[in-house]
A = this chain, B = another copy of it.
Amino acid sequence: MSTRIGIMGYGNLGRGVECAIKQNDDMELVAVFTRRNPSTVKILTDGVKVYSASEVQDFKDKIDVLILCGGSATDLPVQTPEYAKYFNVVDSFDTHADIPQHFEKVNKSATESDHIALISCGWDPGLFSVNRLYANCILPEGKDYTFWGKGVSQGHSDAIRRIEGVKDARQYTIPKEDALEAVRSGKNPELTTREKHLRECFVVLEPGADADRVTHEIKTMKNYFDEYDTVVHFIPEEELMEHHSGIPHGGFVIRSGATGWNKENRHIIEYKLTLDSNPEFTTSAIIAYARAIHRMYKEGQRGCKAVFDIAPSYLSPLSGEELRRTML
């Protein structure tokens, strides 16, 4: 039996969910919901319609899992508890500090309405979190490192665009090779923000804008750039379009730990992602987890879950027997 999916919100994430469904035979796209005028939203899947977000409750019995593709700042804190009243839901809430309170609200809503919900799915939070957990359990005496990149930071790109005289910009977060090597050596270094990541900016200026002033404003911008080594390149708009229009990302989760009666042996566990498309990889994880929570729902599980609570076998369309034979 297939899992019937609804998509709430059709930006990069919504489109990514749609593409991931196409790659999984047991997943079926039922409807896309938008807060825009539905007639203005064109999707890729033949025969599937776009509806107004206000119509979603009509689909209560037609959707197994509703994927919430809104943003973490203002959409999901409201949407996830709300839609968990009517649907099993998955979101990609990624404001790490607010996860505990988001979990409580979603858990209350899903439990009271007899649904299952999964929050903070994707790669960080998500697969990176799962890898931190496995590595911490296996090497209880050790140290964790997370590096991000090379990849586009949307937030930092937006911050540059708000500077006067900037027409467009793209910011890449780049892990420093020296820091990675120091961690891999097992020396458990203490690394500052500046030592871990470099910020590289590609900026298109408005005609007549002062490049020196823009550079200075970028490099000294509080919270965004002032604690980092930042490199600024000014390029023509065509070059930005041609070479910097993708949304690559990735990163590393590394744990360095010791075992042995006297902690005499060192071990390094490294998990590395190199992604051409941040939103498509995020949504590929979301669709695998949507399969999992649909199965857990059918088994009677209810309430809010984190990726930690989901056994890996639930993510796969294969049976336990097939998995043991082919992947163990």
Q: Which A residues are closer than 8 A to B by beta carbons?
A: 16, 18-20, 22-24, 44, 96, 99-100, 103, 120, 125, 127, 129-130, 132-134, 136-141, 184, 259-261, 264-277, 280-281, 284-285, 288, 291, 306-313, 315-316, 320-321, 323-325, 327-328
Which residues of the other chain, B, contact A261 by a CB distance below 8 angstroms? 18-19, 22, 44
Which residues of the other chain, B, contact A268 by a CB distance below 8 angstroms? 272-275
Give 13 new A-B contacts, CB below 8 A, not counting A19-B259, A133-B313, A267-B275: A127-B134, A129-B328, A133-B312, A136-B327, A137-B312, A265-B276, A267-B273, A267-B280, A269-B272, A306-B323, A308-B311, A308-B324, A311-B311
Question: Looking at A20, A132, A259, A321, which has the most chain B CB atoms within 10 Å of its CB?
Answer: A259
21 pairs, A vs B, C-beta closer than 8 Å: A19-B260, A96-B328, A99-B325, A100-B324, A130-B134, A136-B327, A138-B281, A138-B284, A139-B284, A264-B276, A265-B275, A265-B280, A267-B273, A267-B281, A267-B284, A271-B271, A306-B320, A306-B328, A308-B313, A308-B328, A309-B320
* Min CB–CB distance A29 → chain B (angstroms): 13
Contacting pair A134 B312 (CB below 8 A): yes
Question: Looking at A16, A20, A327, which has the most chain B CB atoms within 10 Å of its CB?
Answer: A327
Kindly state the separation between the CA atoms of A125 and B325 in the bound complex, as whole angstroms.
11
Which residues of the other chain, B, contact A288 by a CB distance below 8 angstroms? 137-138
* Min CB–CB distance A267 → chain B (angstroms): 5
Partner of A259, one of B269, B272, B284, B315: B284
Question: Looking at A138, A270, A271, A277, which has the most chain B CB atoms within 10 Å of its CB?
Answer: A138
Per assembly, the copies of the chain total: 2
Contacting pair B22 A137 (CB below 8 A): no
- A259 with B320, Cβ < 8 A, contacts A99-B328, A267-B275, A327-B136 known: no
* Min CB–CB distance A264 → chain B (angstroms): 8
Kindly state the separation between the CA atoms of A120 and B291 in the bound complex, as whole angstroms.
26
Kindly state the separation between the CA atoms of A288 and B135 in the bound complex, as whole angstroms.
10
Partner of A140, one of B23, B280, B310, B313: B23
Contacting pair A23 B311 (CB below 8 A): no
Kindly state the separation between the CA atoms of A15 and B309 in the bound complex, as whole angstroms.
31
Partner of A309, one of B136, B276, B313: B313
Contacting pair A271 B270 (CB below 8 A): yes
